[in-house]
Amino acid sequence: MSAEETASLSRILSKYQHQLLDDWIVEQLAAPTLRPDLISEEELRAESAGFLEELRKGVEQGVPEEIFAPPLENLRYKLEEITNRRVERGFAPSEIATFVFSIKQPLIKHLVEESGSSAQTIDVLWKTTVLLDKLGLFAVDSYQKARESIIRRQREELLELSTPVVELWEGVLALPLIGTLDSARTQVVMESLLQRLVDTESTIAIIDITGVPTVDTSVAKHLIKTVTAARLMGAECMISGISPAIAQTMVHLGVELEEIPTRANLSDALALAFKKIGVRIIRED
Amino acid sequence: MERIPILKMGKFLLVTIQVEMRDQLAMTLQDDLTQRVVQTGAKGVLIDVSSLDIVDSYLGRTLRNIAAMTKLLGASTVLVGIRPAVAITLVELGLSLEGIKTAMTVDKGMEMLREST
């Protein structure tokens, strides 16, 4: 945008600040994408006023080709802030984009009223539209980023929750694994298991993989790492919950579990653990 | 000169490593330990590493050497008190300390040694 064009837009934004805000609110309230269940009118008003203010200040310093240039930094932060808040509340990305796009109508109205429909005005109009389009797309991108960070956070929490270690018997721990074992998961698993080994001074750990869908060479590698770490702490590991399918897959793939004792189910593994720790179960008749 | 103390507990020797071991100290330990094993006729050696935050490849090698030496002299070695964080690091670095027996506590370590003699 040329200096003249910027001046035109800037003038509208400051001269008609309040009317623009009012008109924009009217547009937003009339839009089919309005979510009165997720945001109140006061909040909408506050958000819109904040955005307009940053838009005005940013444009005053000159409108660059790219919205990622310094003059529009605060405006971008504001938009990101608004987007993040809306993501938390459950808005759809199109609803956030509409927030930005719906400013066009009032802005255009005032531009035309002020400067008529000369070729110059049309130029300013076009460039303003382009600017707002870019901002709208930026809002959608921010939305994506915010969603991804929420998913990442949840995944980490899930990781923490899904590695319980239970004491089956004095000195015998069980680690039921649910889901696949990747390197991130293995780290969490090792830490939980080793800490419990220390806390309980257990000498046997049974890793049950009933809930693990497949055991390929990568999963086996992670299991072996875990077993080795436990061994360094003086505990012996065994693996239970090997299904017929997994047994076949492992042999076909040539997966070696080295010298780790394995059993089809947890109860067999427990029986082996008892033998190792010298416990005998006698049925009372 | 710094020396790592070696304590006698019945038929066993107990060594507690609390400082970083380098060259001279490691050499001296290997010397002292092998001599004590022969002198006392010890059947087992317990090496306590519970105060160590890190066990690097140098220490790993030193420990493996000690285990091999004492074995030649007719004694077993058990490593005691590896911390979880240390165990994880060792595994990540691929230092499995193969051939060295390990136990969680000194008690368990002694039990292990008694069983093997």
Residues of chain B positioned with their CB less than 8 A from the CB of A258: none
Pick the CATH number of A3-159 from 1.10.10.10, 3.30.565.10, 1.20.1440.230, 1.10.490.10: 1.10.490.10
The predicted structure's pLDDT at residue A227: 92
- For the stretch A16-31, pLDDT in tens is 888 888 888 888 888 8
Closest Cα in chain B to A188? B88
The predicted structure's pLDDT at residue A215: 85
Is residue B49 domain-resident? yes
Closest Cβ–Cβ partner in B82, B83, B105 for A201: B105
Closest Cα in chain B to A230? B87
- ipTM for the complex? 0.76
Residue B22 maps to which CATH number?
A: 3.30.750.24
Q: Give the angle A185-A226-A216 at the CA atoms, nearest 5°.
A: 70
CA–CA distance, B82 with B59 (Å, rounded to integer): 13
- For the stretch A54-98, pLDDT in tens is 888 888 887 777 778 887 888 889 899 999 988 888 888 888 898
Measure in Å the smallest separation between the Cα of A186 and chain B Cα atoms: 10
Cβ count within 10 A of residue B54: 11
Q: What is the mean pLDDT of chain B?
A: 88
Residues of chain B positioned with their CB less than 8 A from the CB of A225: 91-92
Residues of chain A positioned with their CB less than 8 A from the CB of B82: 232-234
CA–CA distance, A32 with A48 (Å, rounded to integer): 17
Total structural domains in chain B?
1
Is residue B1 domain-resident? no
Q: What are the beta bridge partners of residue B77?
A: B45
Q: What is the mean pLDDT of chain A?
A: 87
Question: Which domain, by its residues, includes B109?
Answer: 6-116
The predicted structure's pLDDT at residue B20: 81
By the CB < 8 Å criterion, does B96 face chain A?
yes
Write the DSSP assignment of A230-260 as a string of letters. HHHTT-EEEEE---HHHHHHHHHHT---TT-
- The b/e string for A40-54 (b: 16+ C-beta within 10 A; e otherwise) is eeeebbebbbebbbb
Residues A229, B104: C-beta atoms closer than 8 Å:
no
By the CB < 8 Å criterion, does B103 face chain A?
yes
Is residue B82 domain-resident? yes
**CATH code linked to domain A166-277:** 3.30.750.24
Cβ count within 10 A of residue A93: 17
- Name the segment(s) of chain A with CATH classification 1.10.490.10: 3-159
Residues of chain B positioned with their CB less than 8 A from the CB of A224: none
CA–CA distance, B46 with B14 (Å, rounded to integer): 5
The predicted structure's pLDDT at residue B1: 65
Segment 17-56 of chain B within 8 Å of chain A by CB: none
Pairing of strands A172-178, A166-169: antiparallel
- For the stretch A260-280, pLDDT in tens is 999 988 999 999 999 999 999
